[in-house]
Amino acid sequence: MIVVFGSINIDLVTRATKIPGPGETVAGPIYEKIPGGKGANQALAARRAGADVVLVGAVGADDFATHALSLLKADGVDLHHVATVDQATGAAFITVDPQGENAIVVAAGANDYAQARQLADVAIDDKTVLLLQREVPDAEGEAAARLAKSKGARVILNLAPAGAISESYLRLLDVLIMNEHEAVSLAAALGLPADVRSDPESVARTIDQTYGVPCVVTLGANGAVGWTGGVCRAADAIKVKVVDTTAAGDTFAGAFAAALERGAHFSLALQYGIVAGGLACTKQGAQTSVPYARDIESVVQERLKEDFIPGTATPSP
């Protein structure tokens, strides 16, 4: 089972000819209300990748909450541990440009009131993977990690959005996942040497070797690298026509966690993550773009066949 402790948002999404700079207004034709939030997106990604998933978080007593939880409910994510609090449901204001890149402002609302103690009644054991992000308070994330570790669970943190976490939190992790910007920002906060800070792959190696925490860095069109036990693994990105990159990182994290939870080794989990994240870029929106296991699986199997016989895509008889 995967337990996700994290944010639940409604995304208000506009496609515009460009992402506005400071003081600038840009016209967009329409906006859409799409279920989002890094925690909720990762829960759905893990679920659609085939895992049993419990989502723990907080929403407001408003119409946004119903919409924000609708796809999770439809796909069978356990929502019994989502609290309703006296705050507005979290909302994200997203602009997507013609290249599919986005800019996001998140209003935390109810997410700031999610508490680790909500995990007290969740059946966590040594088969559980706890998946965390940074859109609920870090202190609560760390407390959730501590609770899960005390029950023998594995803990994965996706360090998004970018920022520093305490060394005590870092050392609780079984895997840390970041994108290249998040890696650079964590490296600065940890005071890593300048030559390491400027290179996301070196940051991943240092987190693995210095802190003993396996670390994955996603590199957009350049795929992903992961360091575990002093060994580097890499996965190439899949080639897709990018429509919208929103939630690609969340989809990577959810599919990676689902693969690890069902017993895949680290480098195979990287493949599942990178394929799922790539497929998420081909559709508009956060949860509306999350792929299902059958679509992920067919691409992963094709890749494995190609890897089996280097230099050719055709298996030998």
User: Rule CB under 6 A: which residues touch ligand RIB?
Assistant: 7, 9, 11, 36-38, 41, 92, 104, 106, 135, 246-247, 249-250, 286
62 is an active site residue:
no
Choosing from 126, 195, 250, 307, which is the catalytic residue? 250
Report the alpha-carbon distance of residue 145 to residue 134 in Å, rounded. Answer: 13
**Which amino acid is residue 68, in one-letter code?**
A
As measured in angstroms, the least distance from the Cβ of 249 to ligand RIB is 6
Residue 101 or 297: which CB sits closer to ligand RIB?
Answer: 101
For residues 206 and 249, which CB has a smaller minimum distance to ligand RIB in the complex? Answer: 249
Sign of CA dihedral 300, 220, 160, 90: negative
CB of 149 to ligand RIB, least distance (A): 25
Min CB(70)–ligand RIB separation in Å: 14
Q: Which is nearer to ligand RIB, 9 or 128 (CB)?
A: 9
**CB-side exposure of 91: number of CA atoms within 13 Å?**
13
Nearest to ligand RIB of 160, 190 (CB atom): 160
Report, in Å, the least distance between residue 161 CB and ligand RIB. Answer: 8
Q: What order do you get walking across the sheet with 9-15 strand by strand?
A: 31-36, 9-15, 90-96, 102-107
Q: Could you give the residue numbers annotated as active site?
A: 250
